[in-house]
Amino acid sequence: MFKTFFNPGSFEKLASKLNLPILILSCVSMITGLIIIFYFSPDDYQQGSTVKIMYIHVPAAYISLMTFAIMAIYSIISLAFKMPFGFIINKALAPIGAVFTLICIVSGSLWGKPMWGTWWVWDARLTSVFILFITYILVILIRQSFTNIEIGEKISAVFVILGSINLPIIKFSVDWWNTLHQPASISKLSSPSIDITMLIPLLIMTVAFMSITLNIALISIRYEIINRKRQI
Amino acid sequence: MSIRFQRIFIIIVSIILISIAITLILYNSRNNIIFFYTPSELIDVDLNIGEKVRIGGIVKENSINKKKNIIKFIVTDNKNEINVNFEGILPDLFREKQGVVTEGKLINKFTIKADKVFAKHDENYIPKSIKKQLKNNDFWQKDY
Amino acid sequence: MSIFVKLASFFKINLFNKIVNFLIIIGAIIKREFIITYRNFFNILTIVIFFILGIFIFVFATGPDIKEYKEIIIGIIWTLLLFSSAISIDKFYQDDFNDGSIIVFYISSISLEFYVIIKIIISWFFWQLPFFIVIPIISLFLDINIIKLKLLLLSFLIGSPILTMLSSISSSMNLLNDKNTVIGNLIVIILSIPVIIFGVGIINASPEIINPQLNILLGILLLFIAITPWISASCIKIGLRNS
């Protein structure tokens, strides 16, 4: 089971099998999600139709956090057990995470302007997400700035581990400190404070975003594996 | 002192340090990294007049008073109240019984001349139609 | 009883000798670092002058009216302190790495973590202590009152070891970096964001939340003390293996 996720050969086999189903899943869920959002999901009692930005903003934020967490786990394992496969994953996931963080920031500020009355404030949540974005870019840059790619990969993995201190700060910043950003709606498992008619499209969009991410990641991981095999 | 022994020594020391650090940070950060004060907190802390502050709370019912460009309203947290004077454009979400964060200078202990007003919305997302029903049944309670 | 006797003899012969040996090696390293840094004193002077010039440039750029920038001057001082420690990172491990002395220490049974700790202490002593003389002099020029000056020195006393450790991390990451040397400074700057927030926050905070803010800064310091040796040592190891 674990071998599949750390052995490039078997991972590539799995990836080539999964590629098509995930592509179909992402198309289907994206289309149904968008249809539900635009035609069936109700307006919010306070925010009106602006609430529909949430269906982009929240999944993008999830993806940006999750991608970094996966990168951190793979970096720790591959540095500790000397498995270069984790570095391939880092290389594939970092640009995706950066793009989704950017989507999260941009859609958030588009949401913030009509609702809060400002594009940007320096409260704890927004600042820490911005730091996450810069961290992603630095991970990519560190990798590029060594002539010997092997060292660049290892150093950027170390930097990913160092940057993962930021993840719990992002997650809990809205609970620990009073921020302008509202607290999480879904993480309260007992009773999510979001109505079921809005929760369903949000979940569908999350699935869509996740499958898109997975799709791009699998393609670029496969590309990297094949490329390295050819070099050897 | 072999290298292994040094490593173990440093591991133990750093685990102790990390646990002390985390308790220090979590214990102290709870109420001190703040984007805004609530009105009660603002009255508790001693701030000089003319200092820049942010306060957050709910706009009191029937307190919005517009005269030309100057808008006056009261921010409350159900215990204490702060008067706010503001000149400028309000966000869409600004209305009575709505959470706001205002940024400005302290004129006197209970009054702020605001430069900016941000509307704060809560984490509840409820469709308009259901909200009406809830309101009719007196089931709806706003928690802050 | 025999076990105790055995233990005692073991400790007397083995451990005591080993500890003495270890201390001698560490003393030698410290002495060597002291001599090297002392001979490179002009570098330190350059950094201090960079700091002073930065402050002056800021004053010239904003105009001579002191009241205008009284609220932000602490932030400016902290920013320039950060920049001056960010541009002084190149010399941290690079010389030792290039002439091979790191390998010698490693062979003589000093773990890289201990080496990093020694190096951090020494370079804090030489690179950051001069600022404790410079900041009061600068504050005379800028008309900072004595209470704020005390708080500034206190926050810098806690914050400056963190800046040194950030320099250590970024310098060890960039040992073999040959394409893009600015990235080292970027790493220092992005990791120093919490230090800046709380370092400046202490001085501008209202009196009753100074203590919690100081504690948080202290917590960040302890956290960095705990993790820096590991990160720096692992990066140096990566460099050693691949060079």
pLDDT tens string A72-91: 999 999 998 888 888 999 99
Alpha-carbon span C240 to C243, nearest angstrom: 6
**Cβ pairs bridging A and C (under 8 Å):** 49
Alpha-carbon span B5 to C16, nearest angstrom: 14
Strands (E), B1-144: 52-59, 65-67, 70-76, 81-87, 99-108, 111-119
Q: B123 vs chain A: nearest CA distance in angstroms?
A: 5
Among residues C187, C198, C197, the alpha carbon closest in space to that of C228 is found at C187
Max mean pLDDT range (A102-116, B114-128, C90-104): A102-116
The model's confidence at residue A12, banded by pLDDT at 50, 70 and 90, is confident
Maximal CA-CA distance, chain C: 81
Would you say how long chain C is, in residues? Answer: 243
Q: What is the pLDDT of residue B138?
A: 46
Q: What is the pLDDT of residue B53?
A: 78
A: neighbours with 3+ CB pairs under 8 Å? B, C
Counting other chains too, the contacts that A191-196 makes at CB distance below 8 Å and 24 or more residues apart are: A193/B123, A193/B124, A193/B125, A194/B123, A194/B124, A194/B125, A195/A42, A195/B125, A195/B126, A195/B127, A195/B130
Alpha-carbon span C171 to C88, nearest angstrom: 10
Q: Which residues of C touch A150 (CB under 8 A)?
A: 242
Maximal CA-CA distance, chain A: 60
Strands (E), chain A: none
Cross-chain Cβ contact C222/B24 below 8 Å: yes
Per residue in A115-132, pLDDT tens?
A: 887 888 888 889 899 999
Counting other chains too, the contacts that B39-42 makes at CB distance below 8 Å and 24 or more residues apart are: B39/B75, B39/B76, B39/B77, B39/B79, B39/B80, B39/B81, B39/B82, B40/B77, B40/B79, B40/B80, B42/B80, B42/B82
Nearby residues of B114 by Cβ (< 8 Å), 6 or more positions away: B84, B85, B86, B102, B103, B104
Q: Residue C7 is which amino acid?
A: L
Q: Which residues of C touch B2 (CB under 8 A)?
A: 18, 109
Partner A, chain C 221-240, Cβ-Cβ below 8 Å = 227, 231, 234-235, 238-239
Q: What is the pLDDT of residue A116?
A: 80
Alpha-carbon span C41 to A55, nearest angstrom: 58
Alpha-carbon span C24 to C81, nearest angstrom: 35
Question: Computed over its alpha carbons, how large is the radius of gyration of chain A?
Answer: 19
Among residues A70, A71, A128, the alpha carbon closest in space to that of A101 is found at A128
Is B13 an interface residue toward C (CB < 8 Å)?
yes
The model's confidence at residue A179, banded by pLDDT at 50, 70 and 90, is confident
Max mean pLDDT range (A49-63, A64-78, A159-173): A64-78
Q: Residue B99 is which amino acid?
A: G
- C98 and C160 in a single domain? The answer is yes
Tokens describing residue B14: 């750093």
Judged by DSSP in three states, B21 sits in: helix
The model's confidence at residue A213, banded by pLDDT at 50, 70 and 90, is very high
- C9 and C52 in a single domain? The answer is no
Average predicted confidence (pLDDT) for chain A: 87
Q: A118 vs chain C: nearest CA distance in angstroms?
A: 22
Minimal Cβ distance to A115: which of B56, B91, B129: B91
Cross-chain Cβ contact B14/C209 below 8 Å: no
Alpha-carbon span C67 to C21, nearest angstrom: 59
Is B80 an interface residue toward A (CB < 8 Å)?
no
What does pLDDT average to in each consecutive run of 10 residues of chain C (243 residues)? Answer: 65 71 85 86 89 89 73 86 84 85 82 89 89 91 86 91 92 85 88 88 74 87 93 90 79
Tokens describing residue C213: 């803010």
Judged by DSSP in three states, A40 sits in: helix
Per residue in B56-115, pLDDT tens?
A: 888 887 777 777 778 888 888 777 888 888 887 777 777 777 778 888 888 877 788 888
Is B74 an interface residue toward A (CB < 8 Å)?
no
Query: Pairing mode, if any, of strands B99-108 and B81-87?
Result: unpaired
Is B129 an interface residue toward A (CB < 8 Å)?
yes
Tokens describing residue C178: 């040959």
CB B63 within 8 A of CB B96: yes
CB B105 within 8 A of CB B112: yes
Cross-chain Cβ contact A145/C177 below 8 Å: yes
Question: Computed over its alpha carbons, how large is the radius of gyration of chain B?
Answer: 23
Name the closest residue on chain A to residue B91, using Cα atoms: A117
Per residue in A133-155, pLDDT tens?
A: 999 999 999 988 888 888 889 99
Minimal Cβ distance to C109: which of B3, B17, B45: B3
- C35 and C48 in a single domain? The answer is no
Nearby residues of B6 by Cβ (< 8 Å), 6 or more positions away: C110, C111, C113, C114
Residue A42 has pLDDT above 90, yes or no: no
CB C33 within 8 A of CB C122: yes
- C30 and C82 in a single domain? The answer is no
- C21 and C101 in a single domain? The answer is no
Task: Give CATH for domain B39-119.
Answer: 2.40.50.140
- C66 and C164 in a single domain? The answer is yes
CB B98 within 8 A of CB B74: no
CB A150 within 8 A of CB B5: no
- C235 and C187 in a single domain? The answer is yes
Q: Which of C177, C189, C223 to mutate to test the interface with A (most CBs of A within 10 A)?
A: C177
Partner A, chain B 2-31, Cβ-Cβ below 8 Å = 29-30
Nearby residues of B61 by Cβ (< 8 Å), 6 or more positions away: B96, B97
CB B17 within 8 A of CB C233: no
- C7 and C102 in a single domain? The answer is no
Domain ranges of chain B: 1-32, 39-119
Cα distance from N-terminal residue to C-terminal residue, chain B? 59
Among residues C81, C82, C76, the alpha carbon closest in space to that of C60 is found at C76
Alpha-carbon span C74 to C57, nearest angstrom: 15
How many contiguous H segments (helices) and E segments (strands) does chain A have? 8, 0
For the segment B6-24, the average pLDDT, to the nearest whole number, is 88
Residue corresponding to tokens 């692992």: C234
Among residues A68, C70, C232, A47, the alpha carbon closest in space to that of B93 is found at A47
- C80 and C10 in a single domain? The answer is no
What are residue A204's phi and psi, to 5 degrees?
-60, -45
DSSP B104: E
**Domains: count for chain C:** 2
Domain assignment of residue C128, given as a range: 43-242
| CA distance readout (Å), A24 to A18, A20, A35, A171, C22 | 10, 6, 17, 31, 64
